[in-house]
Chain A
């Protein structure tokens, strides 16, 4: 893409920021707003990633955005019928449901009234007004605007999203499910939800973020979630991507772990046009454990890029990662996993694995598992494989009477299932399982 379009996009966003500021009704002197301005400065100096940007080498998001969006009007609210919203809710999942439409917290569809005082769930806009102390300690303190331009863009326009605070010593009784819906029925839509999730000492919670689109127009979601896992706390996190072929998605999940905490994540991208998931985990104390699982099932011209980063900063922590992908037709998968082991982080154990199956000659996979280690007393390994279904296994199943199609589907399902089996809620796991089976039968024969 030409630099001119890139510059235009950027200029439109800078102009847009002025009107965004004007709408803030005098809040523009607040502490939060100073962070927004700083983020805008970062965005202004870096701009959209060009083709030579190593981090976006395989994902031409700027080109794609430039074709579809002019960024003249960023935040938009949408209205959706309740029936449509209900269609998205995960079946049989008893959860605190939060619905975000085009980046705006929908009070109408969210069901968060009857929560325990030890748990607060509210819109970020409300939290800016009511939770100033917590926000000033945590907001935008983990997701780094300087290292990622889309985080900068989100932070600059951060206004709406979800704020969750779990007090210390509290086991949240049921999962919290956040549904992000882009309504592109009438026009193109850009949504930039911003979430902050704080989990106190010794507490436990399960969070599910899922993404959907309605309508035939293009959409762009640029979401940032900051998650702080307190000492000895357990957080189970799932991110489910089910947007349509015309959706552009950039997601940054930024996790900060305190001592002896556990963070389990599953990122499943089953639909979407051009998707980039960044999962960054900072292990800033001893005894932390982070488990990351990922699955991407791609067909058509889908493009899904998973970037993960685990930063071991202190000794005696453990991280484990397994990402799996199946690429069909003309789709492209990208995996980049970074493991950093800092000089202080002795006795670190870190494992990473990325496995891919290409089903078509037009599909592509680019993978770059990366280890950067500055400590010597560590055990780290990574592996990556790219291949096809095992012909021997296929033959074995067919020799037992299975059709070629069902044998393939069975093996692909087994391959995919491993990446989602650690999801905490049965209902969510079953939901994913069902989607995977449907997809394999429909698109991967």
Chain B
């Protein structure tokens, strides 16, 4: 066995550090899915009739759909009747202030490095914390409200701002969009809602922190971000889950609406439990994320660092409808051990002079499979559309795979589309150069991988970037040669 392989072997022993389980009493629905469960969830959330009808419509449509088989991933069939679709931490009364939040719950988030106490929080970040299916706390609400910004849990939004929810829910990701979005539409239990009014530049990062705690539950949250004319917001999302032997399903939907001149930046650091080194357990992360640049000169930018989940299946997309609108997608996807990732983006150019940019960096190690799948579509009226895509894959070890599936469809002769992709091995020469300067092999790998991903990491807000770099090093601990 060569030294490289030895080091690779060692690498598989790195531990998932967020694998603890919290002992929080939960209020759950019985296992399984039927119309009664949908009604149960809607009732629990004290939703108005229209919301229930919307869910039921989605549920009925879901029944007619088949689970998609085209992603380059394999997993045993999911038994949708064996999942708990609703689990909420038990709280006797809704907390009036953050001090009233269950201390055990607060401790859970403290442990994850998320403080729900505003004064302790890093300035400049407002957090909506979601445990299992339910939003437990939102910080800095009042301060944001002064600017007219609405940042609250989805269920609160349904009650307090029904006109906004009614208008935008399902407008970007329609109920019938795909199998998992239909499922989510039927059973979503909570999530974050955000509205930035006209001309307002949100002064702090808004962030949602997701945590799956209870066993056998699926997490189906829904996020809706509406950026009105000329507004700006930067939104962060983080996630972790306990280590469990069974697989857990996470099927979320994120919708972003950007009006004229609005800009939304959405960053994700995804660190769901990836399963153990033999592929046992881990989260199935089947997520639909889409934004529409509805108005002229609007911009949506997705940045994602994907290190967790047993299976990742997501394509944050931009529909560039407004003229001169811009879509961006920056992604780092790291897979190790038995992880599988099929991720990428769709850039749909409809408006004139629309621009999109895709930078995807895949790193595969262990026995993992890492696929980039992307679509750049230019419609006939999208005069002068521009796209540049760069997809690089880095391979570590000889038992992993890297796959690139870019689809390019152009119906307009003035469009300019460029796609470049490379696949290479992490350079032995580079590692030797580092070790000759006294740097140990692991740090050398972390250094090189971070350098390789820099273009994407640079897009993240400061605190997140540091977090992401650490995460990369941790995910690839002990890897390579």
Contacts and interface: CB of A to CB of B under 8 A. Distances in A.
A touching B, CB within 8 angstroms? yes
A309 interface: no
Contacts of B421: 369, 371, 381-383
A194 B71 CA distance: 35
A365 B408 contact: yes
A278 B397 CA distance: 33
Interface stretch (B189-197, B216-224, B409-417): B409-417
Interface stretch (B43-51, B85-93, B398-406): B398-406
B70 interface: yes
B418 A373 contact: no
A165 interface: no
Given A364-B410, A375-B398, A378-B424, A370 B405 contact: yes
Contacts of A72: none
A359 B413 contact: yes
Nearest to B365: A376
Nearest to A372: B403
Given A54-B70, A361-B413, A370 B404 contact: yes
A366 B419 contact: no
Contacts of A443: none
A371 B401 CA distance: 10
A383 B418 contact: yes
A371 B412 contact: no
A378 B413 contact: no
A365 B387 CA distance: 15
B398 A384 contact: no
A101 B396 CA distance: 54
A122 to B, nearest CB: 43
A358 interface: yes
A382 to B, nearest CB: 5
A366 B409 contact: yes
Interface stretch (A225-233, A251-259, A385-393): A385-393
Question: For the side of the interface on B, what is the size category?
Answer: 20 to 34
B393 interface: yes
B403 A371 contact: yes
A387 B418 CA distance: 8
Interface in B373-405: 380, 393, 395-405
A123 B413 CA distance: 46
Contact of B414 (A365, A376, A377, A388): A388
A358 B380 CA distance: 12
Contacts of A383: 418-421
B403 A363 contact: no
B396 A376 contact: yes
A387 B401 contact: no
A238 to B, nearest CB: 27
Contacts of A363: 411, 413
A359 B397 CA distance: 45
Contact of A386 (B397, B399, B408, B424): B408
A209 to B, nearest CB: 29
B159 interface: no
Contacts of A381: 420-423
B80 interface: no
Contacts of B412: 358, 361
A396 interface: no
Contacts of A366: 407-410
Interface string B12-35: 000000000000000000000000
B161 interface: no
A368 interface: yes
A382 B404 CA distance: 10
A27 interface: no
Contacts of B393: 371, 373
A214 B416 CA distance: 38
Nearest to A351: B422
Contacts of B143: none
A371 B412 CA distance: 26
B425 interface: yes
A360 interface: yes
Given A368-B405, A385-B418, A358 B398 contact: no
Contacts of A306: none
A51 B419 CA distance: 26
A15 interface: no
A373 B396 contact: no
A186 to B, nearest CB: 38
Nearest to A389: B413
Interface residues of A, number: 35
Interface in A326-377: 343, 346, 356, 358-377
Given A378-B424, A380-B423, A381-B420, A373 B406 contact: no
Given A387-B416, A388-B414, A368 B406 contact: yes
Nearest to A358: B413
Contacts of B423: 371, 373, 378-381
Contacts of B407: 366-368
A373 B408 contact: no
Contact of A384 (B396, B411, B417, B424): B417
Given A366-B407, A371-B421, A376 B413 contact: no
Contacts of A361: 380, 411-414
A371 B421 CA distance: 9
B410 A376 contact: no
B179 to A, nearest CB: 15
A356 B425 CA distance: 30
B401 A374 contact: yes
Given A358-B412, A358-B413, A371 B418 contact: no
A364 B417 contact: no
A365 B410 CA distance: 5
Nearest to B409: A366
B425 A370 contact: no
Nearest to B404: A371
Contacts of A54: 70
A372 B423 CA distance: 10
A387 B415 contact: yes
Interface in B133-188: none
A365 B409 CA distance: 6
A69 B112 CA distance: 66
Contacts of B425: 376-378
A54 B395 CA distance: 27
A358 B400 CA distance: 38
A303 to B, nearest CB: 14
A382 B420 CA distance: 6
A57 to B, nearest CB: 9
Most buried by A among B408, B411, B422: B408
Nearest to B395: A376
A369 B419 CA distance: 9
Contacts of A386: 408, 410, 415-417
A357 B408 CA distance: 13
A355 to B, nearest CB: 10
A299 to B, nearest CB: 13
Contacts of A373: 393, 395, 401-403, 423
Given A368-B405, A369-B406, A380 B422 contact: yes
Interface in B407-448: 407-425
A379 B424 contact: yes
A371 B402 contact: yes
18 contacts: A358-B415, A363-B411, A364-B409, A364-B411, A370-B405, A371-B403, A372-B401, A376-B396, A377-B425, A378-B423, A382-B420, A383-B421, A384-B408, A384-B418, A385-B418, A385-B419, A386-B416, A387-B415
- Which 8 A-B residue pairings sit nearest by Cβ, starting from the closest? A358-B413, A376-B395, A387-B416, A371-B404, A386-B417, A380-B423, A384-B419, A374-B401
Given A356-B410, A371-B402, 12 more contacts: A358-B412, A365-B408, A367-B408, A368-B407, A368-B408, A369-B419, A371-B393, A371-B404, A373-B402, A375-B398, A377-B398, A378-B395
Interface of A: 54, 343, 346, 356, 358-388
